[in-house]
Amino acid sequence: MSAVPIASFAQRLLTWFDQHGRHDLPWQHPRSAYRVWISEVMLQQTQVKTVIPYFEKFVARFPDVTTLAKAALDDVLLLWAGLGYYARARNLHRAAQQMLAQHGGELPQDFEALLQLPGIGRSTAGAILAQAHGARHAILDGNVKRVLARYAAVGEWPGHPRASLQLWEISESLLPPQRLADYTQAIMDLGASVCTRRVPACLRCPVSADCQAHIAQRVAEYPAPKPRRDRPLRLASALLIENAAGEILLERRPPAGIWGGLWCPPLLEENADAATMLRERYGLQLAALQTLPTLRHAFTHFELQLQPLRIQLVGIIHSVRDASSQRWVKLSDAPPALPTPIARLFQQLKMSTDQPCPEPFTA
């Protein structure tokens, strides 16, 4: 990297931000630590325009740490439905409970104390302290990684520990002495609106004069892509067990693993038999079975192919064993927090409720 005066990068960025940056995001008014925290966690995997309505609903329902900590996890997950990566919502809830128990219901102002909380990593802690308190902390979210990988021509994939270390050093070295809240927003805005992933607008960029990738005309090569590894495919069935009242059985997923804490129809591993599972696990007898079109859902480490099986039972089922982990829901009722593909499946089922189940299937 060439010797660029530190203030130069920050100063140009701040001047650009004053004119072109985003000054009316809902978490900027007011810019409290709580609101910055919620927005930062929502923005970890999601774009600003998607986050805004979720943020507004979330802080209206849970305006502070105490309200969030005392809320039922189901209510938190319900407001998160559609944003994906539900571990973020579970971590927000757990972190709020820790803040209530250990920090008087406030976000700690100490960097190390923030890092102890679930779901708060180095970049999120830095963003909270810089934006809410003007403290001198660097950030390195996805947008900033891309800007700095290009600006300093870091050739390795930013997820590699060596590249990550280098990018953190660069990010810290470029911090200005003042206006940390604005600077943090400015570098995120630059990544979101100018140094974009596909078509960076270098001609409009305030730091193009010493951007190493731009000077070398090799912008398209940065950041280096993640080394390719094919995601394995997992197969499973979703059992849409329907009782005589037309209700579907849902179970709460265990906290760890896919869709942790959300409500979901029972899942059946590949090659397992639905009739046997119904009999052995629930004491239920299958009357009819209908195969619905399969669904695909991509997780970070694998792809799931889900075969929905619509199942009718023999006799009337009156109760479930444990209301906190199982429940019958009517398709016409507002469902609890469901994983996105299951919510879509419920929508399709709702539209087809007029269609009868097929003739009894012999198990």
In the complex, the residues that contact ligand SF4 under the rule CB under 6 A are 147, 150-151, 194-195, 200, 202, 205, 207-208, 211, 213-214, 219
Cβ at position 195, least distance to ligand SF4 in Å: 3
Amino acid identity of residue 89, one-letter, is A
Q: Which is nearer to ligand SF4, 76 or 170 (CB)?
A: 170
Q: Which is nearer to ligand SF4, 73 or 202 (CB)?
A: 202
- Which residues have a Cβ under 8 Å from the Cβ of 128 and sit 6 or more positions away? 33, 36, 37, 40, 107, 114, 120
Range list of H helices, 245-285:
274-277
Cβ at position 154, least distance to ligand SF4 in Å: 12
Q: Which is nearer to ligand SF4, 29 or 218 (CB)?
A: 218
User: What CA–CA distance (Å, rounded) separates 307 from 328?
Assistant: 20
Q: Which is nearer to ligand SF4, 174 or 194 (CB)?
A: 194
Cβ at position 202, least distance to ligand SF4 in Å: 3
Determine whether 203 is exposed, middle or buried from the number of CB atoms within 10 Å of its CB (0-12, 13-18, 19+): exposed
Residue 303: φ, ψ to 5°: -115, 140
Cβ at position 199, least distance to ligand SF4 in Å: 10
Q: C-alpha angle 197/199/202, rounded to 5°?
A: 105
Cβ at position 48, least distance to ligand SF4 in Å: 18
Q: Which is nearer to ligand SF4, 32 or 208 (CB)?
A: 208
Whether the CB-CB separation of 144 and 130 falls below 8 Å is answered with no
First to last CA, the chain: 69
- Which residues have a Cβ under 8 Å from the Cβ of 276 and sit 6 or more positions away? none
Please, which residues bridge with residue 241 across strands? Answer: 311
Strand boundaries in the chain, DSSP class E? 233-242, 247-252, 263-264, 267-269, 286-291, 295-298, 303-313, 326-330
Cβ at position 215, least distance to ligand SF4 in Å: 9
| Two tokens, residue 300 | 């970070």
Query: Hey, is 315 helix, strand or coil?
Result: coil
Q: Look up residue 26 and give its DSSP letter.
A: G
Q: Look up residue 203 and give its DSSP letter.
A: G
CA-nearest of 135, 130, 58 to 92 is: 58
Q: Which is nearer to ligand SF4, 197 or 344 (CB)?
A: 197
Q: Look up residue 280 and give its DSSP letter.
A: I
Cβ at position 303, least distance to ligand SF4 in Å: 32
Residue 269 is a catalytic residue: no
Give me the catalytic one of 40, 106, 247, 359: 40
Known catalytic residues are 40
